[in-house]
Amino acid sequence: MKKIEAIIRKSKFHDVKKALHNVEVNFFSYWDVTGVGNEKQGHVYRGISYSTAEIQRRFLSIVVNDDFVQPTIEAIIESGATDKVGDGKIFILPVEEAYRIRTGEKGGNSLN
């Protein structure tokens, strides 16, 4: 099992969520985060200049069986890319064990 952590643009969240459902990744957690990245240019909106040094993003936390890792990564990249600086990052971490609280089931079957 692997944990996939992805930081994506908030504007691409619904596209990424749909792409994950299309590859049968139907459960994940997410939350809004603020980070500092390479995107340092300022923007002007209605005549007011503002900095993008602190960037609003969405953080996804997904645990999948090993055979779902590559399809999950591809779904995130294909649906989350805008080809501009600031599209985000994906990190892959090992997961030693998982348990379903309701049944006590453990291992990869607890993810389904």
Tell me, what's the pLDDT at 81? Answer: 96
pTM of the model as a whole: 0.84
Mean pLDDT taken over the chain: 90
- List pLDDT tens digits, range 5-27: 999 999 999 999 999 999 999 99
Burial grade of 62 (CB within 10 A; 0-12, 13-18, 19 or more): buried
Checking if the pLDDT of 94 tops 90, the result is yes
Domain ranges across the chain: 2-111
* Residue 79 to residues 60, 64, 90, 98, 103, Cα–Cα distance (Å): 14, 19, 13, 28, 34
- List pLDDT tens digits, range 55-79: 789 999 999 999 999 999 999 999 9
The CA-based angle 75-77-78, given to 5 degrees, is 65
| Contact predicate 69/30, CB 8 Å | no
The CATH number of 2-111 is: 3.30.70.120
Tell me, what's the pLDDT at 4? Answer: 98
